[in-house]
Every structure is written in C-alpha cells, then in structure tokens.
Chains A and B, each alone.
Chain A
Amino acid sequence: MANEVIFKHVNDEHLHTVDFTDDLPDDTTISASSVVSAVDSGGTADATVVGTATQSGMVLSCPLIAGTNGEDYLVTFTGRGTTTSRDATKTVEMRVRNKTGII
C-alpha cells in the first residue's frame, strides 16, 4: 500500500517532498542518484507525470504534473544515501481527477 495518497487535477502541479532522515540514519545527505519514477494503474512506466527531481540534504523533491483524468499513478521516490549508497523508497498514489467533488 502506498505511503500516501494524493488527489490532483490534471492541470495542477503538485510539488511533493519526501524526507529520508528516518529511513537512512547513517547518511546526512542523499545523492544525485536519488530518483522519482511513476507507473500507471496498468503497471506501465509513465515519465510524463513526474518533473525534474531535486535533492537537498535528506529531502527529495519532485513536481507531480499532468496525468490522465481517472488514472491512479503509483509514484516511487527512491532516496540513495551519499555515504552508505543504501536505497530507501516511499510511494505515493496519485489519483488524477478533474471532478472537483472528488478532490
């Protein structure tokens, strides 16, 4: 199950941040190898819904953009510790809905 669920309008841009401090206790920063990826509800990778990820300390930030109305995307934030090279992941289920009653 996803760590978090968010609802987003197709036209919205949602800047999502994940702090890996608790998940990578032996690191003080995450490296540039930290990535954000997304799959649609059929499990197919879809890079169009994630923008450019940035790292700052132990925080990985990425704008979640666009998407198809009605789709549920699973967005995976993978933080890689600079010192240990260990990976930690957090998943966000992004439900793209245009009907404002749902959001």
Chain B
Amino acid sequence: MNLGEVKDVVREHFGRVGWSTTMLDLALGSARREIEKHAEGGYYWMRATKSFSTVAAQQDYSITTSASGGLDLADFKDARALKVKTTTDTVWSDVSVGEVTQEEAESMFATDETTMPLVAVIDNVTLKLFPVPDVVYDMKLWHWEWTDNPTTNTGATGTDELTERFPEALIFGALVWGSEQFEHNSQDADRWAQKFHEQRALIHRHSLERERQDRLIFTPMSGPYDGRRRTSLGRQVWV
C-alpha cells in the first residue's frame, strides 16, 4: 500500500470527511511509534550506520547534534556496534558499546589515559569514549533509528517498509486512536487494539527471523556446544 491508500482505509471507518487529516496523521505517527517502541533494539528497517571522526583529546560526542564533532543523529534509538580504526588503516577494530556501564568504564581507565578507544558508553544523548582518543580516529557506528511515516505519498516507490509491507499495523493502530478519540467507542478501540497487537507480533517475528539469519547465533549454555561460548562475544543469545 501507499500512504494515500492507508489513509483512505482508515477514513472509511469514520466517514471520508469526518476525521481531520491532521489527527489522522498524528494517529498514524502514534501507530508507528508504538510498533517501534516494542522492538527489542529495533526492526530491520530501523538499521542505520554513521561514520564520524574522533577529535584528539575529546572524550564526549553528542549523539543528537553536530556540535564539537557530534554525530548529529536526531532519530537515534540505540547502538548496535561501534568500530574504530586509524585514518590510514584498512581494518576496523571492535569498540565495546552497551556492555560496560559508565561507572565501570571510569574505573577501568586512568583519567589521563589517551589512546585508541576500547570502550564506549552511551550516557543519555552523549557517546563517551574510553580511553580518551589521543588523535583523530575513524569511527563507524551501527545503530537503530526511530523512523517517521512518509509525509508524502511515496509508499508506491517502496521506500518505507512499514507502509509498504505492514500497512495493516498502521491502519489498526490509527483505528485505536480514532475509535477512542473520534468515536469515543472504547469497545471498538479494544477490538482494534487486539488486531494491532497481532500485527505487532507478526512484525516482531518476521524481524527476528531476519535478524537471526543476519546476526544472532544461538548457543546452548550447557551441553556439547558450550565450548563455543567464548567465540564472538556479544553476538550470541544464550538459550
């Protein structure tokens, strides 16, 4: 479906001219946020990467703004991985992110220690590097980003996965809003909420399948394969 068709389906439930387009847009935006909030990390369409450079002797980097070498990621949700290399190198090295708390990181490294970063901590909207970079390094962040509904009717071009492949989720989510706010019909709202929940579960399952193929390795905590537990730390799910 494209954006116009999604809107038309929702409107058919409330009358084509009864519910204002402004409120319909807000309801569709709410549906998208509800879907993405329930992702464990993020869904595959939320994947993104950001290349940036460290600044010599600077530990903190704003994630949401471009100030002082900041990453300028206004829709940042969470980090997936962080890599570092010298500017002349051709091979990336891992930087641990999301695995060590700031308190732990601060006690792991001396306050005046400067070298290639080994650990990164996300403190609210600031990326903190430990140790402090001594020179300019190339960095690459793999992360999840919140997405927005298309503002124009671009769904037909297939640029927005949620509108194109899971329009029912957006429609049911918007119908929950519409039933509650426009019709004040909580019974209908509950019915649409149930259908919305079912769609979210389908999206979750589909995304997990793709994620499993791309990234995750399931490893038993005990048994004949437990010797593999030490490989690829941070990429495994213990079952």
Given the known interface contacts A1-B20, A70-B3, A72-B21, the answer about A41 and B152 at a Cβ–Cβ threshold of 8 Å is yes
Determine the main DSSP class of A at the interface with B.
Answer: loop
B4 touches A43 (CB 8 A): no
B16 touches A5 (CB 8 A): yes
Determine the main DSSP class of B at the interface with A.
Answer: helix
Bound form: Cα–Cα A70–B151 in Å = 12
Does A45 reach chain B (CB closer than 8 Å)?
A: no
Given the known interface contacts A71-B152, A71-B153, the answer about A41 and B17 at a Cβ–Cβ threshold of 8 Å is no
Does A97 reach chain B (CB closer than 8 Å)?
A: yes
A2 touches B153 (CB 8 A): no
Residues 30-56 (chain A) with a chain B CB within 8 angstroms: 40-44
B2 touches A43 (CB 8 A): no
A70 touches B2 (CB 8 A): yes
Please, how many residues of chain B have a CB less than 8 angstroms from a CB on the other chain?
18
A70 touches B4 (CB 8 A): yes
Q: In the assembled complex, which residues on chain A have CB atoms less than 8 Å from the CB atom of B153? A: 41, 68-71
Does A93 reach chain B (CB closer than 8 Å)?
A: yes
Query: Min CB distance, A72 to chain B, in Å?
Result: 6
Does B8 reach chain A (CB closer than 8 Å)?
A: yes
Q: In the assembled complex, which residues on chain B have CB atoms less than 8 Å from the CB atom of A1? A: 20-22
Q: In the assembled complex, which residues on chain B have CB atoms less than 8 Å from the CB atom of A68? A: 152-153
A72 touches B7 (CB 8 A): yes
Query: Min CB distance, B151 to chain A, in Å?
Result: 3
Q: In the assembled complex, which residues on chain A have CB atoms less than 8 Å from the CB atom of B8? A: 97, 102
Instruction: Give the interface size bracket for A toward B.
Output: 10 to 19
Query: Min CB distance, A56 to chain B, in Å?
Result: 28
Chain B minimum-CB-distance residue to A96: B4
Does B74 reach chain A (CB closer than 8 Å)?
A: no
Q: In the assembled complex, which residues on chain B have CB atoms less than 8 Å from the CB atom of A41? A: 3, 21, 25, 151-153
Query: Min CB distance, A51 to chain B, in Å?
Result: 21
Bound form: Cα–Cα A15–B228 in Å = 73
Q: In the assembled complex, which residues on chain A have CB atoms less than 8 Å from the CB atom of B152? A: 40-42, 44, 68, 71
Chain B minimum-CB-distance residue to A71: B153
Interface string of B137-175 (1 = CB under 8 A from A): 000000000000011110110000000000000000000
Bound form: Cα–Cα A9–B8 in Å = 15
Given the known interface contacts A1-B20, A5-B16, A70-B156, the answer about A42 and B4 at a Cβ–Cβ threshold of 8 Å is no
Q: In the assembled complex, which residues on chain A have CB atoms less than 8 Å from the CB atom of B156? A: 70
Bound form: Cα–Cα A79–B22 in Å = 24
Given the known interface contacts A40-B152, A41-B151, A42-B152, the answer about A5 and B4 at a Cβ–Cβ threshold of 8 Å is no
Bound form: Cα–Cα A30–B21 in Å = 30
Q: In the assembled complex, which residues on chain A have CB atoms less than 8 Å from the CB atom of B3? A: 41, 70
Chain B interface residues (CB < 8 Å from chain A): 2-5, 7-8, 16-17, 20-22, 25, 150-153, 155-156
Given contacts A70-B153, A70-B156, A71-B152, 6 further A-B contacts (CB under 8 A): A40-B152, A41-B152, A42-B152, A44-B152, A70-B4, A72-B21
Provide a sorted-by-A list of 8 A–B residue pairs whose CB atoms are within 8 angstroms: A7-B16, A41-B3, A42-B151, A42-B152, A69-B4, A70-B2, A93-B21, A95-B4
